[in-house]
């Protein structure tokens, strides 16, 4: 099997595109075939080099490697449509020469006016085929005069074109409802339908797996295949992805860019698992599946034709499951870039990394994405500022008494480990006649800056005696200063 993913680099990689890429990749890997990356950049006004690089970055992050592509080479190079214009022109001229295409001299303004008139009158706004009847000699004369023209495909006026879809079964289109579509624009640039067919023929694509928004293009492409005398590939159109409200997935349901999920700290393996289940299932009960299981079991026969629901809560749950399954070293390495990004940890800081490795078991069950680790661990890597919603725990005589007594007890400890810290502070709480939660919260806020943190005693051990005492003293000093101003 030879399969391809052919994004248009006019923006970010959408999660729907990522699912399409994944399904193609799975089929190629399962069959021992080839997965090809092809950039469809004929939209010159919107395609950018930055978008191409961003798409490739997101695919690499997902682990969807390609066998042929712009940077990988291959016998069908270049894998960017802007470098393949000669092939498109050759095919278009052949279709013209053999009577499957004709010159259309209608200007864009005329076409727009006719479309608007048709819509006002309740008619189908498709092209009215008026240039189709221009004799060849007359068409050549107009061309020689320099009249601009587009090249249109001569769609048969009778009969049907059947799409045999591997997911939906046979879908039939009546030819009279397919307009004579453009192959080459009047500036000589190819349209999508021509370019994609020529590329798929040249690259010997055996299966085209893509979103169902392309289904209406497929009969046009089949007509081109037949006119060129080529056997078309097998087609499979994936179901639409919708939000939990049943409407097409868009930013109103949350972010739809793969890059967002990468930056937020989702794990690529969790994303792959989640994307695979958007329209496909192994059975009725299996949810967590590694890449090897997906490669071994994926098949189009189990892809549903019904819309797939994007459930963000399920994605967060799934990512948390993958985080829980990671070993401490792997999780620490995965979290490290997020701390570096926030300036909390420097590249090559081995002491900081050692601290992070010890902190990982404390937060593993508390984070759903890697970025969640940053606010939880920030206190270990920089001096803290007490959060606005936590300052109340440092105010008042009782809280100040707790902080003063805690400082004394911690100073007297022979060993500064979690067990010793807990024993000393629980004895303090009992001696002061306080409830543990009420007494521990001022200490937590003083040493971490927040009322929410990893387990207190283990956090204090990681922070070390000196810094714990410094922070308690600083919190106490600030609280007493604010208290004296109030009085």
**Residue 94, H or E segment:** helix 85-97
At residue 486, the pLDDT reads 52
At residue 255, the pLDDT reads 81
**Residue 34, H or E segment:** strand 34-37
At residue 254, the pLDDT reads 74
CA distance 62 to 270: 9
**Residue 234, H or E segment:** strand 234-238
Determine if residue 367 is left, alpha or beta; phi over 0 gives left, psi from -120 to 50 gives alpha, anything else beta: beta
Count Cβ atoms within 10 A of the Cβ of residue 306 and give its class: 0-12 exposed, 13-18 middle, 19 or more buried. Answer: exposed
CA distance 261 to 268: 9
Under 8 Å between Cβ of 148 and 189: no
At residue 265, the pLDDT reads 98
At residue 481, the pLDDT reads 84
Active site residue 247: no
Q: In the chain, where does the domain assigned CATH 3.40.50.620 lie?
A: 85-238
At residue 485, the pLDDT reads 62
Low-confidence stretches of the chain (pLDDT beneath 70): 483-487
Q: In the chain, where does the domain assigned CATH 1.10.10.350 lie?
A: 388-486
Under 8 Å between Cβ of 403 and 394: yes
Under 8 Å between Cβ of 444 and 451: yes
> What value does the mean pLDDT of the chain take?
95
- DSSP reduced 3-state for 5: strand
Residue with tokens 């009782």: 398
Q: Which two tokens stand for residue 241?
A: 């992805």
> Residue 345, Cβ neighbours under 10 Å: how many?
23
Q: What is the pLDDT of residues 245-274, one digit of tens each?
A: 999 988 777 789 999 999 999 999 999 999
Classified by CATH at the fold level, domain 388-486 comes out as Arc Repressor Mutant, subunit A (1.10.10)
Q: What are phi and psi of 100, to 5 degrees?
A: -90, -5
Under 8 Å between Cβ of 59 and 6: no
- DSSP reduced 3-state for 152: strand
Q: What is the pLDDT of residues 273-289, one digit of tens each?
A: 999 999 999 998 899 99
Spell out the residues 6+ positions from residue 150 whose beta carbon is closer than 8 angstroms to its own: 103, 104, 106, 182, 183, 184, 185, 186
Q: In the chain, where does the domain assigned CATH 1.10.1160.10 lie?
A: 268-381
At residue 477, the pLDDT reads 93
pTM summary value: 0.93
CA distance 405 to 169: 76
Among residues 112, 247, 251, 306, the one annotated as catalytic is 251
Query: What CATH number has the domain spanning 85-238?
Result: 3.40.50.620
The domain 268-381 having CATH identifier 1.10.150.120: the answer here is no
At residue 284, the pLDDT reads 85
């Amino acid at each position: 099997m030879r399969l391809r993913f052919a994004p248009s680099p006019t923006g970010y990689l959408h999660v729907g595109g990522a699912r399409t890429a994944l399904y193609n990749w799975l089929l190629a890997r399962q069959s021992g075939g080839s997965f090809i990356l092809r950039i469809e950049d004929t939209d010159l006004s919107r395609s950018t080099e930055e978008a191409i690089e961003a798409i490739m970055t997101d695919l690499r992050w997902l682990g969807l490697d390609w066998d042929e592509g712009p940077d990988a080479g291959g016998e069908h190079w270049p894998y960017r449509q802007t470098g393949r214009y000669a092939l498109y022109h050759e095919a278009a001229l052949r279709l013209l020469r053999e009577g499957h295409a004709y010159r259309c001299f209608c200007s864009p303004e005329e076409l727009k006016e006719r479309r608007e008139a048709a819509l006002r009158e309740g008619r189908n706004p498709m092209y009215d085929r008026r240039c189709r009847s221009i004799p060849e000699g007359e068409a050549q004369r107009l061309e020689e005069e320099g009249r601009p023209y587009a090249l249109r495909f001569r769609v048969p006026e009778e009969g049907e074109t059947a799409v045999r879809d591997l997911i939906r079964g046979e879908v039939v289109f009546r030819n009279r409802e397919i307009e004579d579509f453009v192959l080459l624009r009047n500036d000589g640039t190819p349209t999508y339908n021509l370019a994609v067919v020529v590329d798929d023929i040249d690259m010997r694509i055996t299966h085209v797996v893509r979103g169902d928004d392309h289904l209406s293009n497929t009969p046009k492409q089949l007509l081109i295949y037949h006119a060129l005398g080529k056997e078309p590939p097998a087609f499979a159109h994936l179901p639409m992805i919708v939000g939990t409200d049943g409407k097409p997935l868009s930013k109103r349901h949350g972010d739809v860019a793969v890059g967002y999920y990468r930056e937020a700290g989702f794990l690529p393996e969790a994303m792959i698992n989640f994307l695979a289940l958007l329209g496909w299932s192994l059975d009725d009960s299996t949810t967590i599946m590694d890449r090897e299981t997906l490669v071994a079991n994926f098949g189009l026969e189990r892809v549903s034709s019904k819309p797939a629901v994007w459930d963000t809560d399920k994605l967060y749950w799934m990512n948390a499951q993958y985080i829980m399954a990671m070993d401490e070293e792997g999780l620490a390495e995965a979290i490290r870039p997020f701390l570096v990004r926030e300036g909390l940890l420097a590249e090559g800081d081995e002491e900081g990394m050692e601290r992070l490795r010890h902190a990982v078991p404390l937060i593993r069950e508390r984070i759903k994405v890697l970025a969640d680790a940053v606010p939880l661990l920030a206190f270990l890597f920089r001096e803290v500022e007490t959060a606005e919603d936590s300052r109340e725990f440092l105010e008042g005589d009782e809280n100040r008494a707790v902080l003063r007594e805690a400082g004394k007890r911690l100073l007297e400890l022979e060993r500064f480990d979690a067990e010793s810290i807990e024993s000393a502070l629980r004895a303090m709480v009992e001696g002061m006649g306080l409830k543990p939660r009420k007494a521990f919260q001022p200490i937590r806020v003083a040493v971490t800056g927040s009322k929410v943190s990893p387990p207190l005693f283990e956090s204090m051990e990681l922070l070390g005696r000196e810094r714990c005492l410094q922070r308690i003293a600083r919190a106490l000093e600030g609280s007493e200063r604010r208290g004296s101003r109030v009085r």
